Amino acid sequence: MTTNTNQSWNPDTYARNARFVSDLGAPVVELLAPRAGERILDLGCGDGVLTRKLAEMGCGVVGVDASAPQVQAARRLGLDARVCDGARLAFDAEFDAVFSNAAIHWMKPANDVIAGVWRALRPGGRFVGEFGGDGCVATVKRALIDALRRRGIDGDALNPWYFPTVEDYSTRLAHRGFSVRYIALIPRPTPLPTEINGWLEMFAQSFMAPLADHDRADFIDEVCKTLRPDLCDGGGKWSADYVRLRFAADKPRA
């Protein structure tokens, strides 16, 4: 999923702490409107749960992800999944659609990703996806950066995420030649299946890279205490302040 070497993915931990990511992917699948017989590339397929749904709809699906353990998990579902950096796609006019859910914000070379998608699509193909947009997990990110600053570390330099505005991403798509059919920011506060420390351990690894192993637990505890007033309700249920950028863009036939 990610090109960031400080971020790793354990499929079992991912399933326990982040299954909501694929569970909440139904609206973007609806926007994709896959048709049986189409050939679709799932960009950042993770453990393949959504990829399998596309295959079950009669599509010929290839999943790509930068995480070898996640690709192995997808292959265990019987999928054609391949280890691949999303910024270095090497397909040439092979797909009717490229689909992506909750992955592109890990791929900071945005123009390289878009260019690879363009090459991968046949004329008339479509690029449909959803990922973190402007303002996504802003409260969490601020708490992480502030906690690092108190330790004399530049947290902004460790930020692994690309959360664009509508204007930013639509301009990049149009510059490559796509016709943007739909694009919108969607605030989506998301209940978490565990306390937020599980989310931090899964998704905020890049911020903790400079910390010694024995310092990480105290760091996470400090961040959790900062976040509790904003992201934990009276019943002890945590949520994350997600904002999603959902889009559909078409590659012209001519």
Give residue-wise pLDDT tens across range 15-56: 554 444 545 678 999 999 999 999 999 999 999 999 999 999
Q: Which residues pair with 180 in a beta bridge?
A: 249
pLDDT higher than 50, residue 176: yes
**60 HSE (CA, 13 A, CB side):** 6
Model confidence pLDDT, tens digit, residues 202-228: 899 999 999 999 999 999 999 999 999
Q: How many CB atoms lie within 10 A of CB 244?
A: 24
Query: Tokens for 155?
Result: 């947290």
pLDDT at 6: 67
Q: What is the pTM for the complete model shown?
A: 0.90
- What one-letter code names the amino acid at 86? G
Q: Which residues of 34-65 are buried (b: 16+ CB within 10 A; e: fewer)?
A: beeebebbbbbbbbbbbbbbbbeeebebbbbb
